[in-house]
Amino acid sequence: MVPTRFLLYLSLVTLIPFVGCGTPPQKMNLSEAAMIPLPSSMKEDGSSFALSPSSKIKLNDAALQNLADYLKGLLGSSTGYALETATGSDLDQGDIYLQLTEIEGNAEAYILEIKEDHLVIKGSEKGIFYGIQTLRQLLPPAIEYRKSQEGPWLVPTGMIEDAPVYAYRGAMLDVARHFFGVEDVKRYIDLISSFKINHLHLHLSDDQGWRIEIRSWPKLATHGGSTQVGGGKGGFYTQDQYTELVDYAAKRFITIVPEIDMPGHTNAILTSYPQLSCDGKDRELYTGIEVGFSTLCTKKESTYRFVDDVIRELSLITPGRYIHIGGDESLVTPLEDYIPFMERVQKIVTSYNKRVMGWDEIAHADLERRAVVQYWSEAENALKGVEKGAKVLMSPANRVYLDMQYDSTSPLGLHWAAYIDVDSAYLWNPSDLVQGIGQDDIIGVEAPLWSETLTKMDDIEYMAFPRLAAIAEVAWTPSAQRDWQQFRQRLAKFSARFDAMDVNYYPSPLIPWDGGIEKALN
Ligand code: IFG
């Protein structure tokens, strides 16, 4: 056993080359650290832990190997350290210990214990994943660089005990109005997972496009997916590519929620299979941005065979518990037809052992057990859903619609619901929003990003960040601990982190941004 004092000397010696050049070892206390979402409890003890070339990732259970590999991927490229993994609890100077532990009360809870000579992340696998996201934010922003940087890599010492308020913390990406390929979706998964988001709802179908291969109805993708808003070439995910996204997301503890919007928003279906409309007429592919002009024919039995085929194939490749059936803006479907249609479609979903999710209009129909009503515009629909025993997913358009312009000068986005800057995205509390909908009725929060005006990954990043960081905190941190002035000071320190992650974020004038990565490195 090598004497600790020698190791201490060794670690100090390794630091000497850095003293006087590169970043001075910045003394930072836990309370000064910029973590988003803010952890539910922490206490600092004012010293530092230093990651070092000899640091290893130790595990108490071989089941944590994937997490160790993920952590090594995060820290290895920017530090240049080997960060070898070993099972066992004999910790040496600079080690990171991942400890699979049951924490009472919340499956996503974690404990991050940072001491001068080692640090420990305790929890379930997903708890440890969230502890890793917090550790990332406690290290200097340069840790996010893909190429190796000089250290030192200090972490303030103390103890963090953390767990989310809401279990469903989601982002929605509309890949129907404009199609975004596998690599863009993986990038979005990487970014949202760093803020502890754990669901990605993919809006896979709409008037302008059908984006998922359905083998029993092949023209949905090949014809219905062949264009997009503005007339571009569109695209779709093969079932293998969809599975690739499901697996990539799962490694970051994100569950994919697929949406097939119906009976409205279905022009792409009707152009592919005219027999699914009541008039049987051919329809052109649609490349505009109007809504509410299409409907499946709710009177035809063939429509329900179609829905059954689609839901069956989708359920087989969706490990997550939810299938989203849309239900919004069915403006040309008479309510007396909409209601029985939605009731039959819900039974198809539950026949494949999946739970129903739908936009708040579905509350006009009877709701299957454990259905979730996604509140976006009509509070009385959400209330009706609660009265019928459903849970609510909070997506109030005037707070969390990320396709809303920041202000009237934003080059992208719409503003029918509101102009939304970071303050509006932060200054609300899900359980205070609608009288009669309390915390126990709410499964969580989801931020939709509709893509009528977005064409590339930079556009997604510009609209999503930093507002999604604010919304992630609304969903994770107890409202009594949230404070806008304190949040904006923490967010200000993310400019360097966003720069290092190459995120094309919107530099909101409401935030005293701290000067980006150049300042952080000099
Ligand atoms: N509402 C529509 C979306 C999209 C959106 C743009 C819902 C549930 C306006 N439906 O939001 O398809 O067009 O902000």
Residue bearing the CA closest to ligand 1, atom 6 = 450
Note whether 240 and 269 are same-domain residues. Answer: yes
414: Cβ below 6 Å to ligand 1? yes
What is the position in ligand 1's atom list of the atom closest to the CA of 326? 8
DSSP H or E run through 341: helix 335-351
Three-state DSSP at 160 gives strand
The pLDDT-based confidence of 14 (bands split at 50, 70, 90) is: very low
Q: Which domain holds residue 140?
A: 20-162
236: Cβ below 6 Å to ligand 1? no
Note whether 267 and 131 are same-domain residues. Answer: no
Note whether 176 and 136 are same-domain residues. Answer: no
Candidates 84, 329, 361, 387; catalytic one = 329
Residue bearing the CA closest to ligand 1, atom 8 = 328
Quick check: is 473 catalytic? no
Indicate whether 491 belongs to any domain.
no
Is 60 exceeded by the pLDDT of residue 5? Answer: no
Note whether 200 and 93 are same-domain residues. Answer: no
376: Cβ below 6 Å to ligand 1? yes
Q: How far is ligand 1, taken at its centre, from the CA of residue 171, in Å?
A: 14
Note whether 172 and 139 are same-domain residues. Answer: no
DSSP H or E run through 95: strand 95-100
Three-state DSSP at 205 gives strand
Its pTM stands at: 0.94
Residue bearing the CA closest to ligand 1, atom 5 = 450
pLDDT at position 345, please? Answer: 98
**305 contacts: CB under 8 Å, gap ≥ 6:** none
What's the whole-number average pLDDT of the chain?
95
Tell me which of 293, 450, 453 to substitute to probe ligand 1's pocket, judged by most ligand atoms within 8 Å of the beta carbon. Answer: 450
**325 contacts: CB under 8 Å, gap ≥ 6:** 259, 260, 261, 262, 342, 345, 346, 349, 356, 357, 358, 362
Is 60 exceeded by the pLDDT of residue 11? Answer: no
Neighbour count for residue 455 (Cβ, 10 Å) = 17
pLDDT at position 58, please? Answer: 98
401: Cβ below 6 Å to ligand 1? yes
* Crossing angle of the two packed helices 182-193 and 457-464, in degrees rounded to 10: 20
Note whether 340 and 462 are same-domain residues. Answer: yes
Task: Please write the tens of the pLDDT for every residue from 305-344.
Answer: 999 999 999 999 999 999 999 999 999 999 999 999 999 9
pLDDT at position 247, please? Answer: 98
What is the position in ligand 1's atom list of the atom closest to the CA of 206? 12
Q: How many domains does the chain have?
A: 2
Task: Please write the tens of the pLDDT for every residue from 110-161.
Answer: 999 999 999 999 999 999 999 999 999 999 999 999 888 888 999 999 999 9
What residue type is assigned to position 482 of the chain?
Answer: R
Q: How far is ligand 1, taken at its centre, from the CA of residue 416, in Å?
A: 10
Note whether 224 and 343 are same-domain residues. Answer: yes
User: Are 358 and 374 spatial neighbours (Cβ–Cβ below 8 Å)?
Assistant: yes
Note whether 238 and 137 are same-domain residues. Answer: no
359: Cβ below 6 Å to ligand 1? yes
403: Cβ below 6 Å to ligand 1? yes
